[in-house]
Structure 1
Amino acid sequence: MSSRRKIKCDSAIVPGNCCSNCAYIGAECTHALPTKKRGPKNPYVQELEERIRVMSEKLRVKSFELQDQQENSLVPLNGSTSTRSLPSNPLSAVLSPILSDGKSGLSGPDNELHSPPSVLCLDFARGQFFGPSSGFTLMKRAYDLKTEALNDYDISMHSLCQRTQYWEMHPWEQASRDQQMPRYEFPDTDLINSLVSLYLVNVNIFFPIIHPPTLKRLVAEDFHVRDQNFGATVLLVCALGSRYSDDPRVLHTPGCQLSSGHRWFSQVKMIRESLFERPTLYNLQSICLAILYLIGTPEPKASWLLVALGLRFCCELGLHRRKPDGHTWTLEEEQEKRAFWVLVTLDKLTASFLGRPSAIHDEDIDADLPQQLSDEEWEDQEQSIEKPSIVAAFISYIRLCDILDFALQTLYSTRKSQLILGLVGQDWREKVVYDLDSSLNEWINSLPNYLRSDLGKQSRGIFALQSAFLYTSYYHLQIYIHRPFLSKPASGTLPSLSICLTAAKSCARVLGCQQSGSLASLPHTQYAAFAAGVILLFYLWANKRAGITIDQHREVQSVEILLRVLEQQETKFASAGRFWDMLTELKRGYDARGGTDGLRSPHSESTSWTGASGNNVAENEAAKSEHFEQQAEQESTQLAIDVWAKAPPGFTYNEWLYYIEDMGGMREA
């Protein structure tokens, strides 16, 4: 500091060693000493750092005898011995971190909050995850302080107090743990191979739950007969593959296509008899497969419960947290990671469709995304730069679900949650929607070129199917975001009606192009078809009530396409049949009251669709019908679209049907 001006002295960097302030007023600089560099560290601090380093090294190097107590342990997926084993001493396991972040265990609280938490292994918990808030983590830190205070890093943890009755499993608990292996009935060898192949080409390309080469190898080795966990996974693979098979052996009830795969799905118990077992990779995969099967049944709400169970298992294993920098991923860990992200996406889908809270939110997750290595290149751990990755589409879908999660927490959350997020004021909803639209545009522009392919040229290729799936999900999310604003006055700043209509018609074109493929059979696309159909039919009835006579053949054609897509899938998916019934009931009577004749046969142009090449497809379509949308929006928005907007998002099938039947008054007007 300058003694005359009481301000910072810069004499050390000014020629003549006279600070600029003293030179300006013509005074003598009385503090002309240059800035001194900081001296060496305090020896005591250096000693502490060295002791901490030595302690961490000893904890990391010190090992105990290991014994494998898992009767049904995982077969090594990469041909090597399993790295998952159990400690012989429970208390020592409490104090021994498996996952180290490379930092001292005595780091400050701020660092602890921003670093990967410890994963502690307990004999009774079998490798469960415990985060920074856990009492076991605090116990570990307290033990570190004790060893440092005693200056003895070789304290035997075997000598610590362990009363047998509290640390060992009792006979009645062991009996529950060692339940009898279920007797599964698998398909014949030729059929099981066929169903596995059908599953891989129709389901796994969208949700990479299972590593195909490993699945085929283990099935060929009859490992599903010896391991009950993998056996359950194979049964559920067969259940899903049955929906794409014409073999009569897949039917639970002869002649009933809706029973496809149920004979194998019904054998698997989703809730384990023993709650003492540590969840395995096969448990996670089984839950993912069961959810995909249940979504297509008459009661998809059961899938919402299973999603929460699966995510709890993932959190127990610490799959929601990132690994330390430089971690080398094994094939088993990568499959666990993929199963976790599949559950995250299914969580958003079921929560949005049923109007219920999500089991996990984006802010709870800092796990790494799946790697884009192809299934065949896992041995080399090297992905060709020029070769497209099949997993890229799933990663893009994860990012799209992040946008959906934000919409769930803002537009569809409780008022308390909105206040916590600072969503106050008159126009916060409009600002949120603008941000969501911007995120959607960034997302669609970030898609790799091979996921923007022309479906007319490559309608049956894997990347074409993935592209159609992503765009269908994109249009569905557009409708979901703008649905709350359909009841706003036409003078509002958001063109929500136009965006929803355009998205619904675009969704119909994509599904019409893929109506006979595996895309239309996904429950995700059936949900999108239902939402798009409701938007279009409410709009048609609103225009009819308002007396608008302009040409609406494009909307009518889109409705027919969506109905045809659902009709083709209803033979094996009860959900598609219910959606068809509800949309048909809503459409009933439109022709008899002067509607256009286009309800019978859509034009061929409606079944052609080309992926975007960098621009928003919805915006391009909106530009073509701007005059039509503006004229209709002013007269019809408040008549019927608000009824759709005000409908609770968590309606069941029967509630939707009653709700639509109550709309008869609108048709009579």
Structure 2
Amino acid sequence: MLLNLSYHARSLERQVSRWRQAAQGFSTLGYPTAEASLNNLSYSNSDDESDATGSDCNLSDNGTVEHHLAGSFKDIRLITGDTDPFQRHYGKTSNMMMIKTAVKIKKEILGDQLQLPSTESQWGENMLRRREFWDIRPWQFELEEHKSFTFPENDLLCELVTDYFTYCQPYIPLLHRPTFERSVAEGLHLRNSNFGIVLLCVCAIASRFSRDPRNSVDGKGPEHSLGWPWYKQTLPLKTSFLEPPTLYDLQACCLSAVYLMGTSASDSMWTILGLGIRIAQDMGLHRKKKRRPEGLTTWRTVESELCTRAFWMLLNFDVMVSISFGRPRATTNEDFDLELPMECDDEYWDSPNPEQPTGVPSRICFFVHFCKLMEILGLAQRAIYPINKSRSTKYLGAGWEQNAVIEIDSALNQWSSSLPEYLRWDPSRPDGLFFRQSSALITFYYWTQMQVHGRFLRELPGKNGYTLPMPSSPNMIICANAARCCVRVIELQRRHQFKLPAFFLAPVFSTAIILLLCSWTKRKTESASNINKEMQEVNCCLDVMSINEKL
């Protein structure tokens, strides 16, 4: 990661030098020096690995949104500089490929029209490369190793810990609150550097839900630097692998991935998740516990249960990020047989045989069912997005993709039926923790449907490299229904002003793309009122993403 950043820094220095020379040249000739004209992007084709030459695309203020998008996504792997040897690869399952498909369909339907309706212009402008979210920020280059940590002041530290357990723990139950808060009160972070890193990561994540200026760079930096003063001290996460890994190393990888998910360096979390999974396998956490102490129905200790939660969290994020980026996973379902986390809330762990009281709904039940859902999505990734299709055809026979989709749909139906009543989606339920957890589960359920059936919308072979998907095709209908159902849940989340971790934006983005595809493919058959309704739903997704830009 550090080597990657060093190459990127050198590339930026060369670009700055070229920009200054260009600016001087333009000034001498009397031309305006628009900064947008210097924003060059280079890509290489992810569909065909043999075509890696790429093409340059200038994004200036002139021209149409479609021209910008079509040029930007002509090829798909981002290159950060002219001579930078490192490239970001985005495969066929990635959101980039779905956007690329959408741009092609838009051009097929509307051609190279010069003007867009206002709602679509807003969408197009938001899809353009916005520097504050794409570019590595200056403060993110501060990666020196810290010999001693600087923690938030006591009042801010207490606030951030409370915010973490309020807004993040219900969805990513990585920590045991009584144990964690007791360790902080005893000052363990001042004596144990590994625990100190975990605490700093917690503070970094919780900073997104705080408006205290002390969480920003220099106490007054831009809002997008929230949490960076705490997170930068955790890098590099693991400097030595000579000592056996610990639970804290595992938790630091999970928390680091959660924080990076909301930054311009989100690609790095894919690497960190792979590191975390390797650490977990080194600890033997991927294997089921074979021995059970006599007389105990539950033999898990606090530490062993936290290890189980951390491993499942790494697995879940690995599936989500690999699907979103179109990259291979660090491990698969065949490589582990670890039990699911125990459905017992933190306050009942004091006894030697912890158990959730009968009739008391468990907050951790959300995470257990989320793990099961991500298992289904992981199976879908392997079944219908194989890199080497010749092997799949050889061993599974003709029609294996359709059969796999049928099996996955059946598994999704069984998963939905297995949810307890308090986690089933009911829009009329009063606002509360289980209402918010159920809304998160149902959005990811629809997101999984869109990922499974959207596979047949990303690949559109034809004489021009693609064919237009029919609005009446089964896969388009399923994706459209899932997107419309999802946007209704998203609208309720917006109305109730939910504060959720950054990874909950994944269904929002996919929903917007699917709705755009539906709108553009219906241009020749549907009325303008129906199309405008879908664009209003797209704008709802945009509003949610806009609200979360500040987090």
Same fold, judged at TM 0.5 (above)? yes
Alignment partner for residue 149 of structure 2, among 157, 167, 184? 184
Maintained 8 Å contact 1:270/1:287: no
**Measured at CA, do residues 301 and 399 of structure 1 come closer, stay the same or move farther in structure 2, by a change above 3 Å?**
same
Q: Give 1:532 deviation, angstroms.
A: 0.8
Give the one of 526, 544, 547 matched to 2:505.
526
2:471–2:521: 8 Å Cα contact kept in structure 1? no
Structure ranking higher on relative contact order (CA contacts 8 Å, 6+ apart): 2
| Structure with larger Rg | 1
- Shift of the 421–308 alpha-carbon distance from structure 1 to 2, 3 Å rule, reads farther
Distance, in Å, in 2 between the alignment partners of 1:221 and 1:214 is: 11
Q: Which residue number in structure 1 is paired with residue 378 of structure 2? A: 405
After the TM superposition, which residues 163-202 of structure 1 pair with which residues of structure 2 at under 5 Å, given as runs? 182-202=147-167
Give me the whole-angstrom Cα distance separating, in 2, the residues matched to 1:405 and 1:424: 21
Partners of 2:500 and 2:445 in 1: how far apart?
17
| Map 1:351-430 → 2, pairs under 5 A | 351-380=322-351, 381-416=354-389, 418-419=391-392, 422-425=395-398, 427-430=399-402
The residue number in structure 2 matching 1:221 is: 186
Residue 230 and residue 267 in structure 1: after superposition, are their counterparts in 2 closer, same or farther (change >3 A)? same
Question: Aligned residue for 2:276?
Answer: 310
In the alignment, the residues of structure 2 paired with residue 383 and residue 549 of structure 1 have an alpha-carbon distance, to the nearest angstrom, of 54
Q: Deviations over 1:316-364 (max 9, x none)?
A: 0100000014252111111011101100001101100000000010011
Note the residue ranges of structure 2 that are not aligned, 5 or more in a row.
1-144, 294-298, 461-466
Checking the alignment, whether the CA contact within 8 Å between 1:239 and 1:264 is kept in structure 2 is: yes
Q: Does the 8 A contact of 1:520 with 1:526 survive in 2?
A: no
CA distance in 1, matches of 2:361, 2:414: 21
Partner of 1:465: 436
CA distance in 2, matches of 1:525, 1:181: 32
Paired amino acid for 1:319: L
Give the direction of change, closer, same or farther, for the CA distance of 1:331–1:516 in structure 2 (3 Å limit): farther
- Mapped partners of 1:518, 1:272: distance in 2: 37
- TM-aligned CA distance change 1:547 to 1:213, over 3 Å: closer
Which among 277, 284, 300 is matched to residue 243 of structure 2? 277
Contact 2:366 2:423 (C-alpha < 8 Å) held by counterparts: yes
Is 2:425–2:442's contact at 8 Å kept on the other side of the alignment? no
Structure 1 SS opposite 2:396? coil
Which residue does 2:305 correspond to in 1? 334
Distance 1:295 1:565 in 2: 16
1:338 alignment partner AA: R
Q: Which amino acid aligns with 2:515?
A: L
Helix, strand or coil for the counterpart of 2:233? coil
Does residue 287 of structure 2 align to residue 321 of structure 1? yes
CA 1:492/1:536 → structure 2, altered by over 3 Å: closer, same or farther?
closer
Describe the superposition over 1:509-558 as per-residue Cα deviations: whole angstroms up to 9, x where unpaired: 11221127685643332121111101111221222255755633442231
Structure 2 distance, partners of 1:491, 1:295, is 34
Q: Number of aligned residue pairs: give it.
A: 391
Counterpart residue number, 1:235: 200
Paired position in structure 1 for 2:545: 566
Tell me the amino acid that sits aligned with residue 403 of structure 2: K
Displacement after TM superposition at 1:421 (Å) = 8.0
Contact 1:352/1:408 (CA < 8 Å) preserved in 2?
A: yes
* Deviation of the 1:181 alpha carbon: 8.0
Residue 494 of structure 1: CA displacement?
6.5
**CA pair 547-217 structure 1, distance change in 2 beyond 3 A:** closer
**Range with greater deviation from structure 2 (308-317 or 270-279):** 270-279
Q: CA RMSD in A?
A: 2.3
Shift of 1:506: 1.4
Shift of 1:247: 1.3
Q: Partners in 1 of 2:504 and 2:255 — Cα distance?
A: 17
Q: Contact 2:167/2:499 (CA < 8 Å) preserved in 1?
A: no
Q: Which moved more, 1:245-254 or 1:439-448?
A: 245-254
Q: How far did 1:416 drift?
A: 4.8
Return the alpha-carbon distance in structure 1 between the equivalents of residues 395 and 497 of structure 2. Answer: 43
Report SS of the residue matched to 2:454.
Answer: helix
Secondary structure in structure 2 of the residue aligned to 1:273: coil
Residue 439 (structure 1) aligns with: 411
Deviations along 1:440-481, one digit per CA (max 9) or x if unpaired, are 11111111111025344422x111111111111111110000
CA distance in 2, matches of 1:417, 1:523: 37
1:264 and 1:315 map into 2 onto residues whose CA distance is: 28
How far 1:182 moved relative to its partner? 2.3
Which one-letter code corresponds to 2:157 in the other structure? I
TM alignment of 1:581-596, pairs within 5 A: none
| Residue of structure 2 in register with 1:251 after alignment | 216
Quote the offset at 1:217 in angstroms.
0.7
Paired position in structure 1 for 2:226: 260
Contact 1:516–1:568 (Cα < 8 Å) also in 2: no
- Secondary structure of 2:430's counterpart equals coil
Structure 1 residue 255: deviation in Å?
A: 4.9
Mapped contact 1:410–1:418 kept (Cα < 8 A): no
**Aligned-residue identity in percent:** 35
In structure 1, the gaps of 5 or more residues are 1-179, 573-669
C-alpha distance in 2, partners of 1:364/1:244?
A: 37
- The one-letter code of the counterpart of 1:277 is E
**Structure 1 residues 518, 435: CA separation in 2 closer, same or farther (over 3 Å shift)?**
farther
Tell me what 2:74 maps to.
Answer: none
Match among 297, 315, 319 for residue 263 of structure 2: 297
Question: How far apart, CA to CA, are the structure 2 residues paired with 1:315 and 1:422?
Answer: 29
Q: Distance in 1 between matches of 2:260 and 2:244?
A: 24
Instruction: State the distance in 2 between where 1:491 and 1:571 align.
Output: 38
Determine the C-alpha separation between the residues in 1 that align with 2:320 and 2:204. 21
